Amino acid sequence: MDESALRQQLAMLGASLFQRGYSVGTAGNISVRLPDGYLMTPTNSCLGRIDPARISKLGPDWSHIGGDKPSKEVFMHRAVLTARPDAGAVVHLHSTHATAIGCLAAPGETAPIPPLTPYFVMRVGRTLPVIRYYRPGDAAMEADIHAAAKDAKAVLLANHGPVVSGRTLEDAVHAAEELEEAARLALLLRGAGARELTPAQVDDLLATFG
Ligand code: 13P
Q: How many domains does the chain have?
A: 1
Model-level pTM? 0.98
Measured in degrees and rounded to the nearest 5, phi and psi for residue 13 equal -70, -35
DSSP strand pairing (37-40 vs 29-34): antiparallel
Q: Which atom of ligand 1 is nearest to the CA of 94?
A: 8
* Residue 49 · residue 89 · CB < 8 Å: no
User: Of 3, 22, 38, 73, which one is the catalytic site residue?
Assistant: 73
- Assess whether 3 carries a catalytic annotation: no
Angle, helices 169-188 vs 3-19, to 10°: value is 20
48 C-beta closer than 6 A to ligand 1: no
Atom of ligand 1 nearest to the CA of 29: 4
CA angle, corner 206, sides to 147 and 152, nearest 5?
Answer: 10
CA of 28 to the centre of ligand 1 (A): 5
Query: Contacts for 72-75 with beta carbons within 8 Å, 24 or more apart?
Result: 72/43, 72/136, 72/137, 73/29, 73/136, 73/137, 74/40, 75/137, 75/138, 75/139, 75/141, 75/142, 75/145
The model's pLDDT over 76-93, given as tens digits with 9 standing for 90+, comes to: 999 999 999 999 999 999
29, 40, 43, best to mutate for ligand 1 pocket (most atoms within 8 Å of CB): 29
Q: Which of 3, 119, 133, 170 is catalytic?
A: 119
Chain Cα centroid distance, residue 133: 16
> What pLDDT does residue 210 have?
85
**Cα–Cα distance, 10 to 36 (Å, whole number):** 17
Q: What is the dihedral of CA 154, 177, 72, 104, to 10 degrees?
A: -70
- Model confidence pLDDT, tens digit, residues 114-145: 999 999 999 999 999 999 999 999 999 999 99
Q: Which residues pair with 42 in a beta bridge?
A: 70
d(CA 184, CA 162): 13
Dist CA 185 CA 112 (whole Å):
12
Q: What is the pLDDT of residue 83?
A: 98
Is position 119 annotated as part of the catalytic site?
yes
Task: Assess whether the C-beta atom of 99 lies below 6 angstroms from ligand 1.
Answer: no
Query: Domain of 83?
Result: 3-209
Find the CATH number of the domain harbouring 100. 3.40.225.10
What are the counts of helices (DSSP H) followed by strands (DSSP E) for the chain?
7, 8
Q: How far apart are alpha carbons 111 and 139 in whole angstroms?
A: 25
How far apart are the CA of 41 and the centre of ligand 1, in A?
Answer: 9
Instruction: Flag residues of the chain having pLDDT under 70.
Output: none
